[in-house]
Amino acid sequence: MAQSSGFGGALYEGLTIGQKRAVTAWLFLALPIVFYALVRFYPTAQAFWLSLTNWNLLTAPGFIGLANYQRMMVDPVFWQVMGNTLLYLALGLPLSLGLAFLIAYHLDRVRVGHAVIRALYFIPHITTAVAIAWVWRWFYQPVPVGLFNEVLTVVGLPQQPFLRSTTQALPAVLVPAIWSLLGFQIVIFLAGLRAIPQSYYEAAAIDGAGSWQILREITLPQLMPTLVFLCVLTTIGLLRIFDIVYAMTGGGRAAPGGPLNSTKPLVLYIYESAFSSFEMGFAAAQTVVLFLILLAITMIQLKVSKK
Amino acid sequence: MTGWQTARPGRVIAWTLLVLGGIVMVMPFVFMLSASLKYNHEVYELSLWPKEPTLDNYRYLFQETRFVSWFVTSLIVATITTLSVLFFDSLVGYTLAKFEFRGRQVVFIAILSTLMIPTEMLVIPWYILAKDMGWLDTYWGILFPGLMTGFGTFLMRQFFMSVPNDLIEAARIDGVGEFRIWWQVALPLVTPALSALAIFVFLGNWTAFLWPLISTTDKDMYTLPVGFASFTGEFQTEWEMIMTGAMVATLPALVVFILLQKYIIRGIMLAGLKG
């Protein structure tokens, strides 16, 4: 042992400075490389492979080609969850970004109590989605439990079913999702707003530009990189929505994603396919689809930010 | 400084609306806290101030349920993961920023590309691995996928790039070993990035749901979010108990935020701009 390390040591001493540094670098990277290979790259390859099999945890996986993908194409539930996922995105993205910009734009000019107001908006973002979900679930209950229906009754309006309705449940789940997203988006918008040089505004003021004109011609164009960044992050987040739906619609007798799959997003269907029905191959095929969608979005982002 | 004297009416209205909106944002927490201090018979009243405030719900939660054990699991998992990420992501980020060697670009791009792999795609293979190795229902099983992150490595590399090479060269001339140069010279210069990363990773793991849900079936090994989700199934209509559980699950993150608010906001702004 001493011999071999002595030999290794002699070998190391014979290296140039550049080579020694390279040895050190690879030494620092050794464990991380093993980690990324075993816990990131190999599982990715495995997911692709599993998507081509009929594996169900009990019997050995058998190769079935693209059958899982074909099944997906004709599975009405798959199309329903894709539709739901896109609806979360189509409603959630403009609503959350619009609100966050509106709040950040005005908050940016506030001096009195700036940090406290910002904190109020940010707090929902750091809390556990599952805990949040149950507070909102409580609010959505019928009279005499739920806050919202109590208020509706007091002002003389009819009670609403909220989470018990196939049409109202998805928006009802989306509201707390947006509520917890806002804080993060506001903080990023504030950072973007602050990065715009003050001199641009001063020059515009000297030219006699109104505040609408300043917003349109200076603030929004300057904020473009921030907007693209937030768009991509929010899109990816909404396409992967899971925790809050699971907690707001599941538990007890009800299967999550209801009523009648009306709130079920793609990731919940993946979870159920894999860990309730144990159709690992089918679930893996869905994760590949999710991966390809997210990849496409990242590619579009790279194109847009290069411009 | 814009004082009250110079404030225009539009500004005052905007300020008032912002404050009202902010109060609406935290109202769910106020209702949560209020319900957790009420007896069951009072929880159906909308009043925010309990007539007979009680800590009975908390006492029951800590003594009769597994909340304490879930809390401990979450704390252990989040702490170990954070320490590991801080160590490895900053070591790798430093190596990729400050060493010149063949293959550096390949390693960097490979690690960066892992950012595009969604967790959802990996959980099935991780489950197989954990099952085969007997890691299900262990702390290690919950935390092994998060020991290093592509995001943190990228973030740390960006920050180490701005550390002057002269400092590192000077230390080399003084005969300081490469590991100690990283640990004692370079690392102290990027503490803002490190603290931002620490907060992200800790909060991220504290609230993580999908993988802990999959990798544990033993109720004593649940993390707080998974435990809370199973707990709500048992206490369906006892809203004061559910709100007490929600309060306990939320409180640590809330305390961390109130104590470290400045660093958290700055960290998010920092990462947002560099990212």
Position B206 scores a pLDDT of: 92
CA neighbor of B247 nearest in space, from B21, B37, B23:
B37
> Residue B79 pLDDT more than 90?
yes
Reply yes or no on whether the pLDDT at B200 is more than 90.
Answer: no
Percent of residues, chain B, with pLDDT higher than 90 = 71
Q: Do B45 and B71 fall into the same domain?
A: no
CB contact under 8 A, A128 and B224: yes
pLDDT (0 to 100) of residue A180: 93
**B269 with A190: Cβ contact below 8 A:** yes
Residue B33 near chain A (CB below 8 Å): no
Residue B14 lies in a domain: yes
Considering the domain architecture, whether residues B109 and B74 belong to the same structural domain is answered as yes
Q: Is B167 in the same domain as B143?
A: yes
Q: Which of A80-94, B124-138, B183-197 has the lowest mean pLDDT?
A: B183-197
Q: Which of A123, A193, A215, A231 to mutate to test the interface with B (most CBs of B within 10 A)?
A: A123
The answer, yes or no, to whether residue A56 has pLDDT greater than 50, is yes
Domains detected in chain A: 2-50 (no CATH), 71-306 (1.10.3720.10)
Smallest CA–CA distance, residue B69 to chain A, in Å, is 17
Chain A partners within 8 Å of B265 (Cβ): 118, 122, 187
B positions 143-202 inside 8 Å of A (CB): 144-145, 147-148, 150, 153, 178-179, 182
User: Shortest CB distance from A188 goes to which of B35, B232, B272?
Assistant: B272
Check which CATH number belongs to the domain holding B73 and give it.
1.10.3720.10
Q: Which residue of B has its CA nearest to A254?
A: B233
Residue A11 has a pLDDT of 76
Q: How remote is the C-alpha of B237 from its chain's centroid?
A: 30
Residue A193 has pLDDT above 70, yes or no: yes
Contacts with A192 from chain B: Cβ below 8 Å? 272
Judgement on whether residues B18 and B110 belong to the same structural domain of the protein = no
Interface with A, mutate which of B33, B77, B121, B176 (most A CBs under 10 A): B121
| Chain A interface, best mutation among B12, B18, B73, B115, by max A CB count within 10 A | B18
Q: A184, A125 in Cβ contact below 8 A?
A: yes
What per-residue confidence (pLDDT) applies to B6?
56
- B43 and B173 within one domain: no
**pLDDT: is A205 or A105 the higher one?**
A105
- Look at B88 and A35 and tell me if their CB atoms are within 8 Å: yes
User: Which among B179, B176, B172 is positioned nearest to A25, based on CA atoms?
Assistant: B179
The model's pLDDT over B214-271, given as tens digits with 9 standing for 90+, comes to 999 999 999 999 999 988 887 777 899 999 999 999 988 888 888 888 888 888 887 7
Q: Quick one: pLDDT at residue A5?
A: 52
Which pLDDT value is given to residue A252? 61
pLDDT band at B1 (very low <50, low <70, confident <90, very high): very low
Cα nearest neighbour of B226 on chain A: A130
Q: Are residues B73 and B149 in the same domain?
A: yes
Q: Which residues from A are below 8 Å from B21, CB to CB?
A: 103, 121
User: Nearest CB to B125: which of A46, A126, A229?
Assistant: A46
Chain B residue at shortest CA distance from A147? B46
User: What would the pLDDT profile of A178-190 be if each residue is shown by its tens digit?
Assistant: 999 999 999 999 9
Q: Is residue B190 part of a domain?
A: yes
The CA distances from residue B89 to B82, B83, B93, B95, B176, in Å, are 10, 10, 6, 10, 22
Per-residue pLDDT at A6: 59
Q: Which of B5-19, B60-74, B81-95, B200-214 tops mean pLDDT?
A: B81-95
Residue B44: inside a domain = yes
Q: How far is B56 from chain A (nearest CA, A)?
A: 20
Portion 63-92 of B in contact with A at CB < 8 A: 88, 91-92
Domain with B35, as residue range(s), is 9-54
pLDDT in the model for residue A2: 41
Report whether pLDDT(A1) > 50: no
**Which of the four pLDDT bands, split at 50, 70 and 90, describes residue A212?**
confident
Q: Which of A200-214, A282-296, B241-255 has the highest mean pLDDT?
A: A282-296
Q: Report the gap between the CA of A124 and the closest CA in chain B (Å).
A: 7
Give the HSE-up count for residue B40: Cα atoms under 13 Å, Cβ half-sphere. Answer: 7
pLDDT in tens, A96-147: 999 999 999 999 988 899 999 999 999 999 888 898 899 999 999 988 888 9
How many C-beta neighbours within 10 Å does residue B271 have?
20
Residues B107, B36 within the same domain = no
* Whether A32 and B28 lie within 8 Å, measured CB to CB: no
Beta-carbon separation of A40 and B272 below 8 A? no
Residue B60 lies in a domain: no
Q: Which residue of A has its CA nearest to B2?
A: A111
Q: DSSP state, A251?
A: S
Nearest residue of B to residue A239 by CA position?
B118
> Quick check: B31 and A128 CB within 8 A?
no
Residue A29's CB is within 10 A of a number of other CB atoms, namely: 22
Q: Do residues B93 and B47 both lie within one domain?
A: no
Q: Is B225 part of a structural domain of the chain?
A: yes
CB contact at 8 A, B197 and B89: yes
**Which residue did the predictor score with more confidence, A170 or A210?**
A170
3-state secondary structure A92-123: HHHHHHHHHHHHHHHHCCCCCCHHHHHHHHHH
Per-residue confidence band for B274, with pLDDT thresholds at 50, 70 and 90: low
Nearest CA-CA distance, residue A1 and chain B, Å? 23
Least confident of A198-202, A265-269, B66-70: A198-202
Do B41 and B77 share a domain, yes or no? Answer: no
What pLDDT, in 10s, does the model give residues A7-36?
667 777 778 888 888 999 999 999 999 999
Domain count, chain B: 2
pLDDT at A137: 92
For chain B, give the percent of residues with pLDDT over 70.
Answer: 96
Picking from A103, A130, A145, the nearest residue to B229 by CB comes out as A130
CA–CA separation, A66 vs B199, rounded Å?
43
Co-location of B82 and B47 in the same domain: no
Alpha helices in chain A (DSSP H): 2-13, 17-36, 42-50, 67-74, 76-107, 114-126, 129-139, 147-154, 169-194, 198-206, 211-214, 220-222, 224-239, 243-249, 266-275, 280-306
Identify whether B46 is part of a domain: yes
Q: What is the mean pLDDT of chain B?
A: 90
Residue A206 has pLDDT above 80, yes or no: yes
| Selected residue of B120, B123, B187 to mutate for chain A interface (largest A Cβ count, 10 A) | B120
Residue with tokens 């305390």: B255
Return the pLDDT at A188. 92
Q: Are A176 and A241 in contact (CB under 8 A)?
A: no
Instruction: Give B7-39 pLDDT, tens digit per residue.
Output: 578 888 999 999 999 999 999 999 999 999 998
Give the whole-angstrom CA distance, residue B152 versus residue B196: 10
If asked whether residues B121 and B86 sit together in one domain, one would say yes
Q: Is there a domain that residue B76 lies in?
A: yes
- pLDDT reported for residue A279: 94
Q: How many CB atoms lie within 10 A of CB B45?
A: 12
Q: What is the reported pLDDT for B196? A: 86
Residue A32's pLDDT is: 97
Phi, psi of A63, deg, nearest 5:
-70, 125
Residue B4 falls within a domain, yes or no? no
Using a CB–CB cutoff of 8 Å, tell me whether B274 touches chain A.
no
pLDDT at B268: 81
Give the separation between CA B50 and CA B56, rounded to whole angstroms.
13
Q: According to the model, what pLDDT value does residue A4 have?
A: 47
B159 and B28 fall within a common domain: no
Average pLDDT for B60-89? 95
Facing B124 at nearest CB: one of A42, A188, A280: A280
